Every structure is written in C-alpha cells, then in structure tokens.
Amino acid sequence: MTHHARWRPLRRFGSLVLAALAITCGITLAPAYAAGSWQLADVARIAAITQLQALPGDRFAFTVERANLNSARYETSSWWVGGADTVPPMAAPEDDGTLSPDGRQWLIVQISIDSSLAVKSVNGGKPKVLVSPQEFSEIFDASWSPDGKWIAYVLDDGIQRSPAWRFGAYVLDQRASLTETSPRSDRHIWVVSSDGSARHELTLDKYTYGESAPRWTADGRFLITTRSQTGLANDTSKQWVKIDASTGETTVLPGSTNCTDVLTSGSGERLASLCPVGGDPVARVDVMVDGVDLTGGLDLNATGAQWLADGSLVASIQDGLATRLYRLTSDGAAPYPLTPPSIHVERFVVSADGGAIAYVASSETQPSELFTMSLDGSHVRQVTHLNDELNAPAPVAPQVVTWSGPFGKTLSGLVFAPPDASSTTPLIVWVVGPRDAVNIGFDAPAQYFVSHGYTVFEPNARGSTAYGDWSGKSLVGDWVNGPQSDIEDGIGAVERLALVDPKRRFLLGLRDGGYTAAWLIGHTNSFAAAVSGFGFTSLPLYYAYSDHAYMVARYFGSEPLARAAQLLVKESPITYVDQVTTPTLFFAAYDDKSTPIETIYPMYRRLVDRHVPTVLWRYGGGLSPVDQVPEERLYIILQIAQWFGQYGGIKIDECMPGSATPVQFIAP
C-alpha cells in the first residue's frame, strides 16, 4: 500500500486477450478516431522508462518500454547517456537485464521453478549461462560487483531439499499467508564469477536471506541485504546485515529494525537508513545517518536515498502532491530541495563518480522523461523526448482543491475538468486505498475520461503518504471510516466549484482503492455506478489469504482475528452489503496473491443474490492487469467507461486499437 493507484505499463503479460479481441473485431490499419478526445491508442503510445542505473564515471543507462499493439507485447530498447551525448540503442534482452559496469554485458535472471542466471553481450548473440537451472530451485535477484568481476545472487533451494514439494505438498509456515506457494526457509546469498569459472555460497547459517536484493558496497568488499527466520514480509526478526564477499562473515547493522532500506557511504564508514520514526511501523519514514534524523523537520515520507561523493545524500521525499529530490547534509542544515513541486520524480540514481544525478519525472501535462542535473540542482538537462509526438489532444492541467481535514489539517486533491465543465458535467471520484497517494505525475486514464466529457476528482484523504506522521497513525484501527468523511468533504469542495452535476456521480477505485470504493457504496447511495477493481472486501479474509496480511496486523494489532475480530468485521465492506443499491463492476485476478479473488467474490455473490446490478470480470494470472500489460489495461479502461455509460454517464463507443468494431459489454 505504498504506491499510488494509477496505471503504469510495466510487464509483458496476457497478450492472448488482445489476440482474441483482434479476432472478434477484425484488424484495420486506420481506425477512425473522434476529433478532440483521447483514444485508447493515445494511452498505449506513451513510452515509459522502466530501468535506470549508473555506469562508471558520469554515465547512466536506461531502458525504454513501448507498447506494440500489432504484436500484442511490449518492446524495449536500452540506451546509455554521458556528458552531452546520448548513444543509439543497444540490443536489449528478452527478460529484464542489468548492465555490467563497463556497459558491455547484460545480466539476466530467468525466474521460474527451474531458474537460471546468464550474461549476454549488448551486441546480441546467445546468452552464456553462469548458473544452470536446477530442478525446483529459484534464483531471485542478482547484482554486479563494482569491478564487474563477480555477481551476487539469491538462491532458494529449499524446495529442492524438500522431496514432498515435487508432489505439491509442504508444511505451511505458521507466519505465512495461505497464498504462499512454496516454503521460504533456504534463501541464501551466492557469488559467481562473471566468466562462470568460480561459484560459492556465502551464507550457511539458519537464517534466510535476500528479501531485499543484495547490494554491493562501493569498494566491492561487502554485500548489504536482509535476513530473517522465514523471509516473510511480516517477520519481525528481519535484520539488515553486511556480508563479507570473500569470507561470508556476517555483521548485523545497528539501528536498522523495521527500516525499509540501508546503504553505506562510498568509504563504507557511514551508514544511512530509511526507517519509520521511533521504529513504529505506521509512522512516517525518515532518512537517518549514524543515528541522526536528517529529514524529521520536514514531517514528510522519504522513499529513497543515495550517497553523493562529498558525503552528503540525495533523497526522494513525498512532498504533498509530488515526490521531490532533496539534498541532505549532516551538518545541521535544513534539507535543500533540488526539484520543484511542479514535477513528480518517479526514480533516480546518482552517477558512479557521485557527481551527477539522473532522474525520471513527469508532470500534470507531460509524460515521463529522463533528466540529468548537477548536485546543487542546477544545470538541468532533459535527455529524452520520448513523448513529444504523441499526437493526442492537449492534456488538461488539473486544479488543486483543498478542504479542512482532521486534527486541524488541510487536505488536498486534484480536479481534472474539461474546458466546458459546468453544473451538468458528470463526475468520476477516483479513490485510492490506505497508505496510497495521489500525485501530480502524468495521468493518462484521467486525461482519457476528461477528454470525453467527465470531471475527475482524485482526493488524498487521511492515511495518504502525501502527508506527515499524523496521517499514517490516523489509520490505526480505522482504515476507511475516517477516510470516508474526508472523501465526502472533498466532493463537497469540488461541487462548490460548479464543475460537476451532483446527481451524476460515479465512483472508481483500483487495487486498495477498490476496498475504499466497496466501502463507500455500502454507506451512501449517491453514486450512479461504481467500479471496485482488484480490491478486497473482507478484512478477515484479506488477513487469512493475502501475502500482504502483515498490513492488517500493523494497523489492527497482533493476532487480529482473535484480538480485533469485531473491528475487522466493522471495517469490512461486505458487512454492509445489504445496504448497497449502486450498480457495481468488480475486477479480480484469478491467482492474485496480494488481493486473492476469495476476498472479492463473497460481496459480488451477495449482490447477485440481492439482484443489485453487478458484474465480476475475472482476469487470469497472478498479477492484476492494473499493474501489468497494455492490452488488458486498455480493455479495463474501456470496461469502466462503458459501465458508467450504461448508468447515466457519457457513452463511449470505441474500438480497441487495431479493431474496427466497438466492444460491447452486456449489462446485468
């Protein structure tokens, strides 16, 4: 629940969906698009930068990903940039790869039940396998040493050591969720030479390692990672450790309990960590150096940090509606902002020589691009222009709306309104979940709906990571009742702008926002239709089934099924299902470990029994299409648009890209 709930193109998955649509609709090379409105193809054309890494000196490598709807897959190209030059693309591997420090080879981890580790020249050719597949063993993460001579990786051969696993049988760890698919008690750190001539295991003790990918120190002598008794996310025994890359000697890093990241300085003498204040897991995350809190005065959540050559740090911090870069020093000076509040930083990296910063950022009206800048925030250069020629209608800049929240705080949200918005314009309220946040990063789906005539409101209620320490703590024992009040007050603030029709409200929530949406329809009948996408509806079932069950214990206490059973039921949307009258569209992914379909289906089933108009679209695979492929993302946008159109919204009869026939959905 730490990332915002907007769609992002990330991985290849589900290309059969597009193929089936192409067969149904018939391919045409030039579909007719309505002038002045965003089309699904416009959404699909937006390129994303999916990887960014530092190379020796002042060079950076980055990977660009674009959707090719003709081949029903993503296509990637990789580049490196240094100084004033951008070099033409290198051959990119089929799977995700990490460049060697000299930029000549890809490191490829093929993850499967029989996984392998290989290197491949950037000029193409066959991969060279360094670690051959072993039956029922898994390789998870790998990283190059700074000199490129060694590769560290995480190997789980606990499955191989358990003969019963071959028949699908294993003892479920008592701290695991029901959806865990394998024992996780034998993850260890290995190193292999980059030519494959030498390989040995570094960790041989009772712990399981590598929940966080092993990261080399700058001098190549040590690896930084985590270890715990089980390797599960809710394991309170988790420790950050430093492992000698030659001997395997392991040292626990002090003050790293519950920390989300730990990193050593270039000299290895200083320790920086991203930790919740006071070790409280619901508190904001601050950047600490040698026990000194460098960001506490901001009262904002830190999301990442890296050391600079001069011993200072650069950190990414959620600053209201934008994630910004700040420079931090340990001399008592206040954090210095490097990026303005008008852009949202998605990822960043410091050059290997510590003298420059590269970052990927977007704004309200500009999709993501790559930028570089000097350490003081000056000499900013836009490196890429990937999305300059989208040929889509001009994006609408959202208006920031504010209203009074709890504890005397001011809450905020974004309002995307068409130029001719009035008191007859329908409103989509797009909600996020507990510990999510709305930001000013480019929002293509919102642009799509606005261009077709909707006003879209995205509120940051209490609990949002856009606010300070009070926000996360306000959710303890109350994931949704308090946020509901904030959302309703925000809607009132929007309606006072005279940009919407109060009688034509529509509700949309995806992932954890689906939980918020399911709750709202049980407490108000003010929405003409609703979409709850991939969001759980029962907290007891979520705790029992989800691999994110630790989040429930974090906010409702240990042993919540025994000690907080009534409260979990009270905070569950399904408890109020008999009050629902709103036509509701549900999405679920069949094998989703985060939000298993078992946490969604009971509410859908009850609405069916009560003859409330409802549809459940079940997608295949283990990850929801919200976080995955372009074809299914576009299909979901179209499903949402047509669902709202059936119940008083704007009717959008559009084809999937490459099709000549509009997709029609059957109303219940």
pLDDT tens sequence across 166-203: 445 545 554 455 554 444 457 899 999 999 999 999 99
> Could you give the dihedral angle defined by the CA atoms of residues 93, 98, 102 and 104, in that order, rounded to the nearest 10 degrees?
-10
For the residues of 226-275, what is the DSSP string, one character each?
EEESS--TT-TT-EEEEEETTT--EEEPTT-TT-SEEEE-TTS--EEEEE
CATH number of the domain encompassing residue 518 = 3.40.50.1820
Q: Decide if 508 is inside a domain.
A: yes
What pLDDT was estimated at residue 477? 93
Residue 489 lies in a domain: yes
More confidently predicted of 622 and 642: 642
Name the pTM for this structure: 0.89
**Position with higher pLDDT, 290 vs 195:** 195
Average pLDDT (644-662) is 81
Confidence band, pLDDT 50/70/90 cuts, at residue 33: very low
- Run of H or E residues at 599: none
What local confidence, expressed as pLDDT, does residue 448 receive? 96
For residue 392, what pLDDT is reported?
Answer: 86
Cβ(411)–Cβ(422) below 8 Å: no
Q: Are 403 and 47 in contact (CB under 8 A)?
A: no
* 201 inside domain: no
pLDDT at site 97 = 81
Residue 372 structure tokens: 């570089």
| Nearest by Cα to 443 from 421, 419, 416, 461 | 416
Instruction: Enumerate residues 6+ apart whose C-beta is below 8 A from 464.
Output: 432, 435, 436, 437, 438, 471
Tell me whether residue 544 is in a domain: yes
Count, in order, helices (H) and strands (E) of the chain: 12, 37
Domain assignment of residue 573, given as a range:
399-646
Q: Is residue 31 one of the residues assigned to a domain?
A: no
Mean pLDDT for the stretch of residues 643-654: 93
Count of C-beta atoms within a 10 Å radius of residue 114: 14
pLDDT at 31 (0 to 100) = 30
Query: What is the DSSP code string of 398-432?
Result: PEEEEEE-GGGPEEEEEEE--TT--TT--EEEEE-
Q: Is the dihedral of CA 16, 18, 20, 26 positive or negative?
A: negative
To which residue do tokens 């193109």 refer?
9
Q: Residue 331: its pLDDT value, please?
A: 87
Whether 496 is covered by a domain: the verdict is: yes
Residue pLDDT, tens place only, 116-129: 899 998 888 888 99
Query: Residue 666 contacts by C-beta under 8 Å, 6 or more apart in sequence?
Result: none
Question: What confidence category does residue 317 fall into, taking pLDDT thresholds of 50, 70 and 90?
Answer: very high
Query: What integer best gives the mean pLDDT of the chain?
Result: 84
Structure tokens given for 373:
């800048």
Q: Is the pLDDT of residue 414 over 90?
A: yes
Confidence category of residue 501, pLDDT binned at 50, 70, 90: very high
The encoded tokens of residue 128 equal 């060279």
Q: Are strands 344-350 and 73-82 parallel, antiparallel or unpaired?
A: unpaired
User: For residue 343, with 0-12 CB atoms within 10 Å meaning exposed, 13-18 middle and 19 or more buried, which class applies?
Assistant: buried
In a domain, 39, yes or no: no
Q: Is 171 exposed, middle or buried (0-12, 13-18, 19+ CB in 10 A)?
A: exposed
Number of domain units in the chain: 1
**573: nearest Cα among 522, 648, 498, 645:** 522
Element (H, E) at 481: helix 481-495
- 520-541 residue pLDDT tens: 999 999 999 999 999 999 999 9
CA–CA gap between residue 437 and residue 344 (Å, rounded):
12
Q: What are phi and psi of 22, to 5 degrees?
A: -60, -40
Q: Which of 228-232, 566-570, 615-619 has the lowest mean pLDDT?
A: 228-232
Asked if pLDDT for residue 9 goes beyond 50, the answer is: no
What does the pLDDT read at residue 34?
39
Tokens representing 578 are 């008999």
Q: Of all helices (H) and strands (E), which one includes residue 322? A: strand 322-328
Per-residue pLDDT tens for 45-103? 899 998 899 988 888 989 888 887 776 677 777 787 775 566 555 656 656 688 899 88
| Mean pLDDT, residues 219-237 | 81
